[in-house]
A and B are shown apart, each in its own frame.
Chain A
Amino acid sequence: MSAIEPPAQRVWWKQPLDRVEGTWIVIAFAWCMVMFFMMPYWHVYGKQNLSNEAYRSSPEAFLAKAQAMVDKHTVRTVTEQNIPVVHPVPGADVYLVARLWQWWPVLELEEGQTYRLHIMSTDWLHGFSLQPENINIQVHPGYEHVVTLTPTKEGTYSIICNEYCGINHHTMASKLYVVKPKKS
């Protein structure tokens, strides 16, 4: 009986497994378990895990914190819109606002230092996409996500938006500068 007709035996579960099927199921299941194991394993031994730390926040509260950081640590401005470039203290809390259609402010971090990067949207959904590293994180309004990250190499990186956010989505791009640590 073919697959478009009722099975030959009424009690079809008594039909024995073919050896090829049984073997494949065992192999495939073992591989599934390897893949399952990899995720917890990476939490323990891997260095790239997305943070579970997030807080409820409001646009006003988040903007106030970002503004305080900008007031204190701005080192220069870029572009005609005079977007502030902030050079925070290594290890500090750093704030990045995602909004239509801008990442604000521009950050300058030191190579090899670890920062607590707070990301939140003040309006719609956005996508934090660090290029060319290709690290991608969803950004929600109302959820302040704290990601601890360590830039490993100096250079000029880009932050682009990769969650569709309306007509000027393609203009929502910014820079992230990584510099050698200052000698103190």
Chain B
Amino acid sequence: MAVNRNFRTCPSTGLVYHEPAEKLIRWNAVAGVVSLLVGGVLALLVTLTRWPAVKLLPPDWFYLVLTAHGLDMLVFWIIFFEIAVLYFAASTLLKCRLATPKVAWVAFWLMIVGAITNNIAVFKGDSSVMFTSYVPMGAHPLFYLGFILFAVGALVACFVFFGTLVVGKAEKTYNGSIPLVTFGAVTAAIIAVFTIAAGAIILIPTFLWSVGLVSHIDSLMYRTVWWAFGHSSQQINVAAHVSVWYAIAAIVFGAKPMSEKVSRGAFVLYILFLQLASAHHLLADPGLTSNWKIFNTSYAMYLAVLASMVHGLTVPGAIEVAQRGKGFNKGLFEWLRKAPWGNPCFSGMFMSLVGFGFLGGISGVMMGTEQLNLIIHNTIYVPGHFHATVVVGTTLAFMALTYFLIPTLFRRELMFPGMAKWQTYVYGLGMMGFSVFMMGAGTLGVPRRHWDMAFSGAALPHEFPGAAYLMMGLMAVSGVLATVGGAMYLVNTVGSVFFGKKIVTPDFKRVPVREGMAPARPPEPAVAPAGHGAIGAGGFVAPGTFVLAMVFLTSFVLYYFVNWKYLSTVWPLK
């Protein structure tokens, strides 16, 4: 069988692209961006409906649009883009051909068909069951079928990724160990495999139930297994966007990991402990014991939290070391002041890091505490938290990466470079405000997934305080701002990919290669492990980052105990 092994070397970055892989990366990224476009329009509709002063949609449309928004953003946009990242991390970074491109196309089309089927089911109007589709509320069978087809496609794509790693190893396209970013991608893919397995365990019976072949599905069993899928899928995002942080630090600054051992060890902690963390969705449920809840959410979850705190230090730490090495060695923060804040690749990545840690991370751990969950569960605080993790964290990191990918992968110049500079700030700050105000409203008890906080038509309505209405109004204004930032991204990426100035290199050619990519480089001479030389202060190579980490820890500790204090004032329960 003839294997297509055409490679090209990107003239500006030196990255090596395998032609079939390149095409797949592009198509998956484009499918992701199209989902983001659909999800973004829906996001605006949701925001304008929850804005008490606007209240745009009637309830049936609101719940339909909210369901579709959750699926298109949280599942289709993110996973399509993640598959692109996986192929990039395997094929491009290892300078290796993609294993079985044909199978990868099958995976792609399965995902497309699944995503479209699922969207059709939702927009038909009889599947407004939300992203979580809790039984016994039922959706149209096509809803589950679309979801399952998409998941099967994603699973196949993960195996194409693993296959590519095997090919790279066998054909010796790189020396020694895989790069850290690829290691992070492996973490994401491993988590994806057991996540999708959990999804299959719950969604296949639910599909059979929806067509009448299974008579009953227990609601608690559903929630328990569904969250093994639903929460773990967010951990794929975490592993993926942390890899993207490392990749951007490497691309923009040439940063190398402070120590490979720590960064890789933290990824391994994700694999080992994240799955258990899904139990924190069940803290307010009957029928599960406190021992079960505490073990799963704390003992195990905090090791995963530890991993995120480690990445939160080592990514900016690596940047600090690289910057100090370049001479920005004055004081604590010269390295940060002199960072390229006008480069959207960096500014997006850095806001993603800060927002994910301060807003998403602290709120997530707080509400994942067994007792504290009582004052948070199912309030709009919860979407406030996950918009900080998944949108500020993952989506913003992916947006930042896009600005790097357009010239190197699509070989087009950015159409509106000036707009790109501002886009990450408009989107990032809008989204951070959106998250914070949702958390504020949630603290005042405003429920999530709720059409009307004024309870119109209820016999015994509840009256929320004015502050809650204010929070929801501010949330909506920030949400509109974020939508503007999202639109700036979409206009720029779609415009550049289709109409941007082509980057033409005079002597560009694709190189056909028979065996592997190129002769393997000779192994480099063993270097004695060395420190980073005379940079930093007080024995620390990255003192600025350490100070930032301590600021983070202080906010974490204060916020955590403020919530305990607040809990101690509510009615005693046991």
Contacts and interface: CB of A to CB of B under 8 A. Distances in A.
B498 interface: no
A149 B219 contact: no
Contacts of A8: 256, 524, 527
B356 to A, nearest CB: 16
Interface in A1-54: 1-10, 12-21, 23-25, 27-29, 31-33, 35-36, 38-40, 42-43, 46-52, 54
Contacts of A171: 455-459
Nearest to B546: A20
A143 interface: yes
B522 interface: no
Contacts of A43: 290
A38 B561 CA distance: 10
B226 to A, nearest CB: 12
A5 B246 CA distance: 11
B334 interface: no
Contacts of B283: 50
Nearest to A158: B462
Interface stretch (B295-303, B337-345, B421-429, B474-482): B295-303
B299 A36 contact: yes
A139 B564 CA distance: 24
B259 A31 contact: no
A83 interface: yes
Interface in B430-488: 443-445, 447-453, 455-465
Nearest to A157: B462
Interface stretch (B40-48, B114-122, B190-198, B247-255): B247-255
B445 A48 contact: no
A154 to B, nearest CB: 12
Given A18-B541, A27-B553, A135-B573, A141 B219 contact: yes
Interface stretch (B31-39, B74-82, B376-384): B376-384
A79 B459 contact: yes
A125 B137 contact: yes
Contacts of A148: 573-574
B505 interface: no
Contacts of A1: 179, 256
Contacts of A137: 284, 286, 374, 377
A15 B179 contact: no
B460 A158 contact: yes
A175 interface: yes
Contacts of A4: 93, 179-181, 246-247, 250-251
Interface string B535-548: 01001111101100
Interface residues on B, range: 35 or more
Interface stretch (B105-113, B157-165, B305-313): B305-313
Interface residues on A, range: 35 or more
Interface stretch (B147-155, B169-177, B325-333, B346-354): B169-177
A3 B572 contact: no
Contacts of B526: 9-10
Contacts of A51: 573-574
Contacts of B365: 35
Chain B CB within 10 Å — which of A13, A36, A81 has the most? Answer: A36
B570 A170 contact: no
A46 B372 CA distance: 11
B506 interface: no
Given A134-B375, A134-B444, A150 B571 contact: yes
Contacts of A175: 460
A35 to B, nearest CB: 6
Given A12-B261, A13-B261, A134-B375, A173 B461 contact: yes
Contacts of B460: 78-79, 83, 106, 158, 173-175
B136 A141 contact: yes
Nearest to B457: A171
A108 B136 CA distance: 31
A133 B379 CA distance: 13
Contact of B180 (A7, A38, A163, A169): A7
A165 interface: yes
A6 B175 contact: yes
Given A48-B374, A136-B375, A3 B175 contact: no
B450 A162 contact: yes
B309 A28 contact: yes
A163 B564 CA distance: 24
A18 B258 contact: yes
A151 B261 contact: no
Contacts of B549: 24
A88 interface: no
A170 B452 contact: yes
Given A39-B371, A160-B445, 18 more contacts: A7-B176, A13-B260, A21-B310, A21-B314, A35-B369, A38-B369, A38-B564, A47-B573, A49-B371, A50-B371, A78-B460, A123-B136, A133-B570, A136-B374, A170-B59, A170-B457, A171-B459, A173-B462
The 3 closest A-B pairs by CB, nearest first: A158-B462, A145-B286, A162-B447
24 contacts: A7-B257, A13-B260, A19-B540, A21-B317, A23-B540, A35-B560, A39-B298, A39-B370, A51-B573, A52-B290, A54-B287, A83-B459, A124-B136, A133-B570, A134-B444, A135-B571, A147-B573, A149-B572, A161-B447, A162-B448, A170-B452, A170-B456, A173-B459, A173-B461
Interface of A: 1-10, 12-21, 23-25, 27-29, 31-33, 35-36, 38-40, 42-43, 46-52, 54, 78-81, 83, 106, 123-125, 127, 129-145, 147-152, 158, 160-175
Interface of B: 59-60, 63, 93, 130, 134, 136-137, 174-181, 218-220, 223, 246-247, 249-251, 254-264, 282-290, 294, 298-299, 302-303, 305-306, 309-310, 313-314, 317-318, 365, 369-371, 374-379, 443-445, 447-453, 455-465, 523-524, 526-527, 529, 531-532, 536, 539-543, 545-546, 549, 553, 556-557, 560, 564, 567-568, 570-574
